[in-house]
Structure 1
Amino acid sequence: MARQLDEQMAGRFPVGLRLRILDVGTGQGTQALRLARAGHQVTGLEQDAKMLAVAREALAAEPEGIRGRVRLIEGDGRETGVHFLPGSFDVVLCHGVLMYVEEPDALLAGLARMLAPGGLLSLLVRNADALAMRPGLSGDWAATLVSFDTTAYTNRLGLDVRADRLATLTSTLAGIGAPLHAWYGVRVFTDTAADGATVPPDAASLLAAEERAGRTDPYRQVAALLHLCGVRG
Structure 2
Amino acid sequence: MSEPSAASGGETPFRPRASLRTAVVWEVLKDALDRRAKAADVPGGVLDVLDTGGGTGNFAVPVARLGHRVTVVDPSPNALFALERRAAEAGVADRVRGVQGDAHGLFDVVERAGYDVVLCHGVLEYVDDPAEGVRNAAAALRPAGTLSLLAAGLGGAVLARALAGHFTEARRALGDPAGRWGEGDPVPHRFTAEQLTGLVGDAGLRVGSVHGVRVFADLVPGVLVDTEPGAVDALLQLETAVAELPAFHSVASQLHVLAERD
Q: Same fold (TM over 0.5)?
A: yes
CA contact (8 A) 2:192 2:250 kept: no
**CA separation of 1:230 and 1:146: change in aligned 2, threshold 3 A:** same
Q: Which of 187, 191, 207 pairs up with 2:236?
A: 207
Match of 2:261 in 1: 232
C-alpha deviations, 1:146-197, integer Å up to 9, x for none? Answer: 2221233379x96242112222222221222112111100000112357998
Q: Answer yes or no: is 1:100 the counterpart of 2:129.
A: no
Q: How does 1:149-228 map to 2 (within 5 A)?
A: 149-150=175-176, 151-153=178-180, 159-192=186-219, 198=226, 201-202=229-230, 203-228=232-257
Q: 1:9 to 1:221 in 2, by over 3 A?
A: farther
Please name the residue that 2:70 is paired with.
Answer: 42
Q: Aligned-residue CA RMSD in angstroms?
A: 2.4
Q: Counterpart amino acid of 1:149?
A: G
Q: Give the structure with the larger helix fraction.
A: 2
Partner residue in 1 for 2:35: 11
5+ residue gaps, structure 1, are none
> CA–CA distance in 2 between the matches of 1:40 and 1:199?
38
Alignment partner of 2:108: what SS? helix
The answer (yes or no) to whether the contact 1:102–1:162 under 8 Å persists in 2 is no
Aligned residues: 230
Q: Distance in 2 between matches of 1:49 and 1:200?
A: 40
Q: Do the aligned residues in 2 keep the contact of 1:124 with 1:225 (CA within 8 Å)? A: yes
Identity of aligned residues (%): 27
Structure 2 counterpart of 1:82: 108
The question of whether the paired residues in 2 share the 8 Å contact of 1:125 and 1:225 is answered with yes
Please list every run of at least 4 consecutive aligned residues from structure 1 whose deviation after the TM superposition is greater than 4 angstroms.
Answer: 193-200
- Structure 2's unaligned 5+ residue stretches are 1-24
CA pair 20-154 structure 1, distance change in 2 beyond 3 A: farther
> Partner of 2:50 in structure 1?
22
Q: Secondary structure at the match of 2:30?
A: helix
Secondary structure of the corresponding residue to residue 182 of structure 1: strand
The partner residue of 1:135 within 147, 161, 171 is 161
SS of 1:27's partner is: coil
TM-score normalized with structure 1 length: 0.89
Please state which structure has a larger fraction of its residues in strand.
1
Give 1:2 deviation, angstroms: 0.3
In 2: Cα distance, 1:82 partner to 1:103 partner? 17
SS of residue paired to 1:222: coil
- Equivalents in 1 of 2:261, 2:103: separation in Å? 18
* CA pair 154-26 structure 1, distance change in 2 beyond 3 A: farther
TM-score when normalising by structure 2:
0.80
Are the structure 2 counterparts of residues 176 and 62 from structure 1 closer, same or farther at C-alpha, using a change threshold of 3 Å?
same
Report if the CA contact (8 A) 1:152-1:162 is conserved: yes
Q: Give the SS at the match of 1:119.
A: strand
Deviation of the 1:58 alpha carbon: 1.3
In 1, the alpha carbon distance for the partners of 2:57 and 2:222 equals 19
Does the CA-based 8 Å contact 2:37-2:46 persist in structure 1? no
The answer to whether the Cα contact below 8 Å between 2:72 and 2:97 also exists between their aligned partners in 1 is yes
